[in-house]
Amino acid sequence: MSVTVVGSIAFDAVQTPHGGRERMLGGAAVHFALAASFFDDIRVVGPVGDDFGDDEYAVLRGRGVNTDDIEHVAGGKTFFWSGVYHENMNSRDTLETDLNVFETFDPKLSTESEAADVLFLANILPELQLNVRKQCDTAKFVALDSMDLWINIARDALVAAISEVDCVILNDSEVALFTGEREVVAGARKIMEHGPSSMVVKLGKYGAALVTPEESFWIPAFPVDFVSDPTGAGDSFAGGFVGCIAAHGGDATVDVLKLAMAYGTAIASYNVEEFGTERVARLTGAEIVQRVEELRRITSFDTPEVALKG
């Protein structure tokens, strides 16, 4: 199998209550690719500028990620985002967004990227997501991320893109914005009416929910001792989630989806322990498996009979 991810490649500047970085490798496609690289062959499609150099390529290639479809825009600058996290770490303010080469990004997929068995459409303009999805017409499993901006200003295009994918990944406030539904399951099912057979609702530091036509599944965030930087947690989750499905041949049965939720959660938990890609870049498969097992342990309970009155 192979996985193609299309999305942003960025430099990020972040400040959190625990410190900050002036400039670190980031972007949805990067965080996704590093996380997914534990499961399958990954190809990244996204634009960079002249400031994107050997050190950045080395992080991706160090995890075996194929960078042939990273488009170098001569004379351009790489997407830059800076933000500051609030005390509770579950919300942040964007200080600066310089789209740079990302502003005119028009994904060009090689034959190899088009032939992906599994496709992840990270958060970009919905029209572009739909175009890419049509190019990858043999993909067995396609997942899509989006954001409040597109829900607000490009709803129809987003619906069109959603109608062509298998799984949508949004956070709970985006689901509420999109559907007007306060409850996670009801909101997810409304989105699934457009076509997807499953949906993941991210709950930030509280974990994530999986919704299928028949059931729902809930997993907490892994309780780390210390959160340094939440940047990229959602995309690392998506990388572990989609990667795990790819490792199962793109066959997204409910059992595979649940296991994928655990792998996504485990990798995201490592991501937040250090800044940017620092932790995941040196993560090992054994460490991931350890947290997946731990997640199972901290959520499991037996239900022996209790005699109730009434």
By CB under 8 A, residue 203 contacts a second copy = yes
Nearer to a second copy, 99 or 256 (CB): 256
3-state secondary structure 246-280: HHCCCCCCHHHHHHHHHHHHHHHHHHCCCCCCCCH
- Interacting positions 267-306 with a second copy (CB under 8 A): 283-285, 288-289, 292-293, 296-304, 306
Give me the residues paired with residue 144 across strands.
121, 168
Binding mask 31-70 for a second copy (x = CB under 8 A): ------xxxx----------------------xx------
Distance CA 67, CA 60 (A): 7
Taking CB under 8 A as the criterion, which residues in 74-133 touch a second copy?
A: 87-89
Among residues 70 and 244, whose Cβ is nearest to a second copy? 244
Contact between 20 and a second copy (CB under 8 A)? no
Q: Which two tokens stand for residue 297?
A: 């342990």
C-beta of 165 vs 283, nearer to a second copy? 283
Question: Which string of x and - marks every residue 177-196 that binds a second copy (by CB under 8 A)?
Answer: -----xxxxx----------
State which of residues 213, 215, 249, 251 lies at the interface with a second copy (CB under 8 A): 215
Which residues, numbered 123-162, are part of the site for a second copy (CB under 8 A)? none
User: CB of 283: closest distance to a second copy in angstroms?
Assistant: 8
In the complex with a second copy, the residue whose CB is nearer, 40 or 52, is 40
Does position 308 interact with a second copy (CB under 8 A)? The reply is: yes
Site residues, a second copy (CB under 8 A)? 17, 37-40, 63-64, 87-89, 176, 182-186, 203, 206-207, 209, 215-220, 223-227, 244, 247-248, 255, 258-259, 261-263, 283-285, 288-289, 292-293, 296-304, 306-310
